[in-house]
């Protein structure tokens, strides 16, 4: 079970929880969020590169 699912489970099933139990889960969720941002930026750069390649091919074929 990933950290997000575990936090959801805690919220749904418990009235209280120790912060010491939540702290590692929050750190893991933060890392998931950061890694997702890296992945999105990498995909944006790759798409920009692919757009440039397509534009160059269009320009060459129209000449």
Report pTM: 0.69
Q: By C-alpha distance, which of 20, 18, 25, 19 is closest to 3?
A: 25
pLDDT tens sequence across 37-60: 999 999 999 999 999 999 999 998
Q: What is the structure's pLDDT at 1? A: 75
From residue 32, give the alpha-carbon distance in Å to each of 19, 20, 49, 63.
Answer: 20, 19, 26, 47
Whether the pLDDT of residue 33 is over 90: the answer is yes
Q: Nearest to residue 33, comparing CAs of 7, 62, 61?
A: 7
Q: Region 28-39: what's the mean pLDDT?
A: 96
Chain mean pLDDT for the chain: 93
What's the pLDDT at 20? 92
Q: Which two tokens stand for residue 24?
A: 């590692």
| Cβ–Cβ < 8 Å for 28, 1 | no
């Amino acid at each position: 079970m990933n950290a997000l699912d575990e936090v959801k489970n805690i919220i749904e099933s418990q009235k209280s929880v120790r912060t010491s139990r939540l702290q590692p889960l929050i750190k893991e969720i933060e890392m998931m969020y950061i890694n997702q941002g890296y992945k999105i930026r990498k995909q944006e750069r790759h798409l920009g590169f692919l757009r440039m390649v397509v534009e160059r091919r269009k320009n060459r074929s129209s000449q």
